[in-house]
Amino acid sequence: MKTSLTLFLLALFISPICAQEIPEGYTLVYQQDFETKNALSDFEMTDSKAWLLSKGTKGKSLEINKASDYTPRVRSPFNIAMLKTKTLGSFILEVELQQTGKEYGHRDLCLFFGMKDAENFYYTHIASTPDPHAHNIFLVNDEPRVAIGEWINDGINWGKTDDWHTVRVIRDIQKGTIEVYFDDLKKPIMKATDNHFDYGHVGFGTFDDIGKFDNIKIWAPGEAILKKSFFNPSH
């Protein structure tokens, strides 16, 4: 059985992130490649029927393949798979994304973080073309989402529906900074500074599109465990 140190060093070796890029005190707190049959048990979905473990040429991945039967109380993404086993403050998240929908300006996938409840969280909407409601870092704070990006690029190229991309999100709750990277992990595609939320869940999804997520890795200086239901508070 591999030791946790061995797994950590292996993760550093196979990930795009380099050892010297890991801040002092950070460790690998979560890793998921979706190759085990119980991988979905780590997540709570807005609608579990819209998500599945799909198999492709590179192995299994988490896929959102239809619209969720879910209506948020305030205007925000409909399709979310939240990592329910951990809450995080500062972190480095890396994940591979494949957008499997048609090309249009709002063609997107989203990453969520600082999730306090279903109406209070951040998310980054990564899309082909920026506008007031697309390709930005958004705050949902008991009201419809608001773009908070201080700087964003001109959008990204998802390419073909079988193309995979590596995305990195870096959050520092002491500084309040959020940075998002797409393929080029040296140059961010968007930045923001905000201190509304500190610790919270992270998640994966899309506003109203489809796509796949794989090879999740999260480094953090610490974590807190929160085991309440998120989208269905009665559970």
Domain parsing of the chain, residue ranges: 26-220
Mean pLDDT, rounded, for 106-121 = 97
**In a 3-state reduction of DSSP, which class is residue 209?**
coil
Q: d(Cα 222, Cα 170) in Å, to the nearest integer? A: 15
| C-alpha gyration radius of the chain | 16
Q: Angle CA(121)–CA(125)–CA(131) in degrees, nearest 5?
A: 120
Q: How far apart are alpha carbons 140 and 23 in whole angstroms?
A: 28
**3-class DSSP state of 142:** coil
Q: Residues 183-229: pLDDT tens digits? A: 999 999 999 999 999 999 999 999 999 999 999 999 999 877 665 66
**Listed residue (65, 85, 93) closest to 172, CA to CA:** 93
Residues 106/129, Cβ–Cβ less than 8 Å: yes
Q: How far apart are CA 4 and CA 196, in angstroms?
A: 33
pLDDT at 222: 82
Given a cut of 60, whether residue 95 has pLDDT beyond it is: yes
In the prediction, which pLDDT does 22 show? 84
Place of tokens 């780590």: 42
Query: Between these two residues, 13 and 79, which has the higher pLDDT value?
Result: 79
Residue 142 has pLDDT above 60, yes or no: yes
- As a whole number of angstroms, the distance between CA 187 and CA 185 comes to 6
The CATH class of the 26-220 domain is mainly beta
Q: Provide the 10 A C-beta neighbour count for residue 72.
A: 17
The pTM (predicted TM-score) of the whole model is 0.88
Q: Residue 141: what pLDDT?
A: 97
Mean pLDDT for 132-155 is 97
Confidence at residue 225, expressed as pLDDT on a 0 to 100 scale = 66
- Structural contact between residues 221 and 174, judged by C-beta atoms closer than 8 angstroms: no
pLDDT of 206 = 98
Mean pLDDT of 151-162: 97
pLDDT at 19: 56
Q: How confident is the model at residue 231 (pLDDT cuts 50, 70, 90)?
A: confident
